[in-house]
Each structure stands twice: as structure tokens, then as C-alpha cells.
Chains A and B, each alone.
Chain A
Amino acid sequence: MDRRKSLKAIALGSVATGLAAHGCKPGEEKPEIVDVKTHEPVKWRTDYENKILTEIKEGENFFNEHQRETMVVLCDLILPPSEEFKGASDADVVSFIDFMARDTESEKMQTDLKGGLMWLDHKCNTENGVVFKSATESQQKTILDEIAYYDPKVPENERPFEVNFFSMVRNMTMSGFYTTKIGIEELGYKGNMPNVWDGVPQDVLDQHGVAYDPEWIAKCVDQSKRNIAAEWDENGNLLT
């Protein structure tokens, strides 16, 4: 799929609909624009990247209202909010998935998402007489129990569609959640800030049954001298 063509079509489509809905004719007052979606170009991206983001963000959402509500319910079943943990919706995972569905240029992902949500509603309607988002948690979980587990020994393309659909939503929910501030805090990742690396703590070495070789460590940087400018003798022996 040509991203630019499709986005252009979407953008034109939305403008046309907007005008029709407001019954705007030439000479009349401009309709008030509600919920303007824009992208502020950032300097760390190239012009081309900023252009693509503008096109995506100013385009229509991937999920319609019903799909979005269903996704919120589904993602919160995957990572539920509780007293101990934040849930998927606390990290607005569905907006992330909506963006990625448009960004990846993957028709398969888009079709699988739409089709998977239809499948969920159909299944739930058939078994419970309600769409998935309106079912009880127990009804929802009964459905998930059938599709949430897979046999890793079976190649992915040989697994049932609904199982792969759920795996995809689970993957996107996990990535969407654990790349946010609350997700990173929960995981406990300690990096992405200036520090001075001076080796693995002893208790960690002990836990995993490994040790540093003193001969190796003797060659490593003495962090107390890191700010003293390097000088060598003519044979490449560090003097400082």
C-alpha cells in the first residue's frame, strides 16, 4: 500500500465529510474545527519523518468508537489495573496501537485488528447475546481462555487466526505499556541516565554464580582517574 496515497485519500475524505456535515457553502462562515489533530515538527526528526507524522496524526483514527471501546476492555484484561499495578488504559495503550496500525503500513495488521474485533463480537454474541465489551468479565475471560494460549512448537502461521489475533494484541499491549513511564517504573529499569559503570554488584555475581577474573579487571578502567587526561609511553602503555 502506498502510504501517502492512502493518507491523502483519508484526509480528503474527512474534509469532504466535514464540510457536508456542516452544510458549508462558499461564502458562509467556516465551520468550527473541533479536536484539531496536528503534529508539531521536532528537530530530532528529518523533514520527511515530520511530514509522515503530520499525515498520520492529521488523518482519521484507525479504530472507530466501538472498536476503540472494545480494545480498551481487551487491553485491560491483558494488563488489568489493580491496587498493586497500573492497567493498560492508564498508559493509553489503545492510542499507541491505533497509531502503530496506521504507521506500520501493514495491511495485514490492520485487517487482523479489524477482523479480530469482529470475531470477538461474533463469538460473544453467539455465546452470550451481547458484544464483547458489554459482556461480564467472566464471559469475557471464558472467551479469552480459548484464544490466549498457544503451542510455541506449532509455527505461527499454522495457529488459528483468533489465537494469533490475541497474541498480536497482547504483544502490542505489552510493548505499549512497558515503554511508558509507568511501565518502565514497574519493570524497574534503572538506566537511561548518566552514571559511571564500575562492574556488576557482588550480590548479583553471587546470585548467578559468576566471578570477575582479577587479571581481567586489572586491565579495566580505574573510574577514579577517568577525568585525568590519558598519556602513554611510546609503547602504548597508559601512564595516567
Chain B
Amino acid sequence: MQIIENSTVYDAIIVGSGAGGGMATKVLADAGLKVAVVEAGPFFDPADPEQKTQLRWPYESERRGAGTRYRPFGDYDAAYGGWDIEGEPYTHVEGTKFNWFRSHMLGGRTNHWGRISLRFGPKDFKGKDRDGYGDNWPIGYDDVKPYYDKVDKLIGVFGTNEGLPNDPDGFFLPPPKPRLHELFYINGAKKSGVPVYPSRMSMLTKRINKDRGVCFYCGQCGRACQVYADFSAGTCLIFPAQKSRGQVDLFVNSVVREVTTDEEGKATGVSYISKDDRKEYKLKGKTVILAASACSSARILMNSKSKQHPNGLGNSSDVVGKYLHDSTGADRAAFIPDLMNRKVSYNEDGVGGMHIYSPWWGDNSKLDFPRGYHLEIWGGMGMPSYGTGFNVNDFNKFFGTKAGGYGDILRSDLKKYYGAVVGISARGESIARKDNYCEIDPNVVDEWGIPVLRFNYKWSDLERNQAKHAHDTFEEILTNMGGELMGDKPGKDRDYGLHTPGAIIHEVGTTRMGDDSKTSVTNKYQQLHDVDNVFIVDAGVFTSQADKNCTWTILALSWRASDYIVEQLKKQNI
């Protein structure tokens, strides 16, 4: 079977349609360029009444919204994939663990993400200067600020300008009012001196343009919004790009195997496998922009071996795949007796996720770990789903009454405790280390015949200490709220409740940027040191993650890199 070649020569081939790929598509198409977007999964549009999951009732799902191996966040979650995709395995170096979440569909993981849209602050770009750990980015906040500003205005994010030193102000839409359980949290956090602010999330609480609707407060952003009132890369970047003056050819169900190169070692395009007919195809482009996600882009590079690039493309430094790091994560919940016997007279769905949050407040000079974490708050009278009514009256134990039983008492117990649980999650910064990495496993291929990734990842005591601190914080705040803590406080034997690497789905760093081509993969414009017509616009380029979610920075950096690509193409430098 021959490889089928497309005769079109694109200005750019963009691999992946999530935050980074979506933004590159938009910027390049707006500049009038001809781009191919190659996406491993199917087309997805949440405005399609049959394809959308938003506003579906639990009984429209046979499993009432329960998660499965192939839809781990629940049956209606808008991420096709998960930690375990049939036919597309990954492996581990013995004794290490990394959970790799992939979403193969137009828009990628942006369809279901939490929309927590935090800018990195000045300190976040200069980790080494801050405490000696890791490395500084080759750029600083001032380089990225203009792009954060543009992203705020283009995509829309609610929040408030608070003048905080490492949580910069922006161009915010007004935030929604707190819900009942969030008022309890505000009071509880204040008692402990933990600051609380309106959260910063990319849902449109106010109109920004004619193409996108305004939030109608169903709380289901994880299912992707049919009126495009939340940020998903497909609806907010790819679709507008298709209407712009450039040409956007969308190749879905197309799994990129490698970047192809010529005798000089320059990229000529990509080869991909169509999931529809299982045949291999080739596309030609003047530039290749990888945005397949940190680990997938690293995998493509490492699989792109040639005479000129024997260690994989852009990997003369042997740094591709290294410095992989995910956010730290820990969570705890409590039963709040003062939230019992709630009136169900009103709809409190709100926006999906939290209306308030706590950015990092600590002074690391007095702590046994560097960097920080922010706190996310959850609770409320949510829509019933699989799991509703489980251990319905367990909390009777706090009142000395019997747990369990049968009959109508279960109905009144369910209503008594409905909406009385509040949880807190910490999401923090880990340190990027060379010895946490992904590499090609020479012994395993996926069903498309592409060698798979093998992970080697271990937390250090720095992350464990951070999780321990987070659990102390949870306990203090939840107790301030009058709460009865649920579950046990995890001790040293359980890494103080620190989640498995990868679980927070903020993996970054595998193709990090830097000024030195021996210790980094791309330059500060996200251009491979080794090959000047290949760029990376996903989170692989992060020199370090912050105690923030990575999407807003992916978007800002992708815009910045895309401006550079447009300029270089116009100057015919690449």
C-alpha cells in the first residue's frame, strides 16, 4: 500500500486542534494563510443538537451519567478519550507512574476543561531566581502580557482586578455572585487568613461579540456549550478561523505519525494515518506547527527519525520528553451541618465550577516546599447523577442516629443532606526535573503502528510536603466552616494525598523553551533550535508550570509564536 500524497503545499500544517492549535489556526488564517489542521479525533460541534450533551437529563444516559473507562468524567463529559484509550496504550518504567489523559476530538481537551483561566505572574517565569529550583524561562511576564490582554478580549474571561503581585490583572468580564456554599467558604477562609477572590474563568457572563452567546448558567461547561458561551478551541477559534480570509482545511480522524524532512533536514510536512480507511497519507507544508499536547508532540518529534535527525526531530539536545511535569493535586471534603435542610426553591447551577477561589498566599521562606497552590471550591445542589443517594444517611453518625435503613426515611434523609457537602481542591506547582520524562518504548506500538510513549515519573518530597500543607489548610478551613471532615487525612504512607502524576491533566515541559540549544528544545519563539520551520505551540514549551492552570498561557504563547511565524513567512525567512 502506497502512501497517498496530497499535492497542496500549505503555509502551515497544524497538528492538533486544542488551545494551542486552535489559536495558531486563528492567527494564521486571519493573516490570510493556507493552513491544514490535522486532528486525531472526530469533528465536534456542541451546537449540533444531536452531538451536544449539554442540558441532557441523567435518564437520557443508560448509566445515568456514570463515568466509564472511556469517558472517565462521566457519560456526558465532552472529552472523547480518557486515561486509557482502546488501541492506543502507553507504558511505564517499572516503579513509576504517570496517568496520561488524552482527548481525541476537534477542540481536544478544551471541550471539557474547568475554564479556570489564570495568567502566570512575573515570578512564575523566573522560578530559578525565586528559589533556586528548576530554570528560568527565556521570557518574562512583560513579553507575554500583551498577548494575555489580547486573549482576554478575544475569548472572554470573568474575574476582578485585584492588583495582586503574582496574579496579574486583566481585561475581565464581571464575575457571577457567590453561591450559598461559597459564602460559607469565604467566611471559613477569612478566619484562617486565606484570601478569597472571585474566580477567573472563561465563560461569557457578558456578551463579547455577535458570534458567541452569553452564559445561561447551567453549570455544565464540562459538556461544552451549545451557544459557545465558554471557551472551547473548536467553537471559539477553529470555527471563526474557517470564516476568516485564510484557507483552513480540516483533517479529522487523522493521526500524525511523524514530521517528514528533506535532505537538508528541514521539515516538508507530516505523514498521518486516517482512522477511517487505515491508510497512510502525506501533507506538504512550508512550516509544521505541533500542538498535539505536550506528550503527543514530544512523541511525534521522537518518532520523526531521519539521517539528519537520528535522535528524532529537534532532539540533538536529547531534551525532548524530559522535564515532564504536571500540577500537584489534593482534595478534601466535609459535611457542613449549617447547610442542611436547604430550600430547593431556586436554581443554583451557576457557571460550571467555582465562582470564587483562593490564589496562593503563603510565604515559602517559612515553609518546607517551594512554590504554591491555589484552592478550588466545590459543592451545591447539583443535578442528580449516578452516585446520588449513595450512603444517603452516612452523616447520621454525626448525630448518633442509625445509618442505613429502608423506606421513606431514605427520601427525607436525601433531602436533609442535599447540598450540604463542600470540597476544596489544591492545584499546585511541582518542580520540573530532567529525570521525569516520556520516551519512546521500543517494544510497543499502538494500533496505528506508531511507537508509543513510556513514562518515567516520580514525585519528590517537595511535592509531598506541599500536599501535606494543603491538607492542613483544607482541615482548618472546613473546620472553620463548622464542617465534619469526610474520609481520613492521608498520611505519609499515602503521599499525604498527593494525586498520581498526570491526574491533574496539566502536563507541560516536554519540549521546553530556552536560549541554550543544548539544554532546551525550542527558542523563545517556540521554534525548534534544530529546524527553523517547525514550531511547538502546546504546553510542551513551558520551562516551568505555575500554581495556575496552563490553558491561558498556552493561548497567549501560541498567539505570540503565531505572530512570529506569520512574520517569518512574510519575510520568507522560513
Q: Which residues of A contact B (CB under 8 A)?
A: 42-44, 46, 48-49, 52-53, 56-57, 77-80, 82, 85, 96, 99-100, 103-105, 144, 148-153, 163, 166-167, 170-171, 173-181, 183-184, 186-201, 203-205, 207-213, 216-217, 219-222, 225-230, 232, 236-238, 240
Contacts and interface: CB of A to CB of B under 8 A. Distances in A.
B317 interface: no
Contacts of B174: 219-222, 238
A170 B410 contact: yes
Contacts of B402: 149
Contacts of B384: 175, 178-179, 183-184, 187, 189
A22 B345 CA distance: 58
Contact of A203 (B169, B220, B343, B388): B343
Interface string B171-213: 1111111111001101100000000001000000111110000
A152 B217 CA distance: 37
Contact of A85 (B57, B390, B411): B411
Contact of A220 (B171, B198, B343): B198
Interface of B: 42, 48, 50-53, 55-59, 62-66, 68-71, 76, 80, 86, 149, 153, 156, 158, 160-161, 169-180, 183-184, 186-187, 198, 205-209, 214, 216-220, 338-339, 342-351, 381-392, 394, 396-397, 402-408, 410-411, 414-415, 418
Contact of A144 (B187, B343, B349, B406): B406
Given A96-B64, A236-B149, 14 more contacts: A46-B70, A148-B406, A173-B389, A174-B388, A174-B414, A191-B348, A192-B57, A192-B220, A193-B347, A203-B343, A208-B184, A221-B174, A229-B207, A240-B206
A236 B170 contact: yes
Contacts of B414: 174, 178, 187
A176 B86 contact: no
A170 B403 CA distance: 12
B172 A188 contact: no
Interface of B is mostly: loop
A148 B383 contact: no
A173 B406 CA distance: 10
A238 B48 contact: no
Given A79-B410, A200-B183, A44 B205 contact: no
Given A179-B385, A192-B55, A201-B345, A148 B404 contact: yes
A204 B390 contact: no
**Would you list the 3 A-B pairs with minimal beta carbon distance, nearest first?**
A174-B389, A188-B344, A194-B216
Nearest to A210: B183
A81 B140 CA distance: 66
A152 B397 contact: yes
A193 B347 CA distance: 9
B542 to A, nearest CB: 25
B386 A238 contact: no
Contacts of B51: 43-44
B559 to A, nearest CB: 18
Contacts of B66: 100, 103-104
A144 to B, nearest CB: 6
A187 B338 CA distance: 19
Given A49-B71, A208-B339, A82 B218 contact: no
Contact of A226 (B207, B218, B382, B386): B207
A210 B396 CA distance: 25
B502 to A, nearest CB: 22
Q: Which of B153, B180, B402, B406 has the most CB of A within 10 A?
A: B406
Contacts of B172: 236, 238
Contacts of B56: 44
Contacts of A191: 218-219, 347-349, 381-383
Contacts of A217: 177
Nearest to B104: A46
Contacts of A190: 344-347
Nearest to A223: B205
Nearest to B71: A49
Nearest to B411: A85
30 contacts: A48-B70, A80-B408, A96-B64, A100-B63, A103-B63, A148-B406, A152-B396, A167-B404, A171-B392, A173-B389, A175-B388, A178-B414, A179-B388, A191-B382, A192-B57, A200-B180, A200-B348, A203-B345, A208-B339, A210-B180, A210-B183, A210-B184, A213-B186, A221-B158, A221-B174, A221-B175, A221-B176, A226-B205, A236-B172, A240-B206
Contacts of A79: 407, 410-411
Given A216-B178, A221-B175, A152 B394 contact: yes
Given A174-B390, A175-B64, A179-B64, A208 B180 contact: yes
Nearest to A100: B63
Contacts of B59: 179-181
Nearest to A105: B69
Nearest to B340: A208
Nearest to B153: A232
A175 B414 CA distance: 11
A103 B220 CA distance: 25
Contacts of A104: 66
A49 B207 CA distance: 36
A238 B173 contact: yes
A195 B217 contact: yes
A179 B386 CA distance: 7
Given A80-B408, A178-B384, A186-B411, A194 B206 contact: no
B477 to A, nearest CB: 15
A72 B501 CA distance: 44
B160 A178 contact: no
B48 A43 contact: yes
Contact of A148 (B160, B169, B405, B411): B405
A89 to B, nearest CB: 14
B183 A175 contact: no
A2 B149 CA distance: 51
A163 B172 CA distance: 53
A216 B190 CA distance: 14
Given A226-B214, A236-B169, A236-B170, A200 B179 contact: yes
A10 B123 CA distance: 60
A149 B403 contact: yes
Contact of A175 (B205, B343, B386): B386
A44 B52 CA distance: 6
B114 to A, nearest CB: 18
A60 to B, nearest CB: 16
A78 B217 CA distance: 35
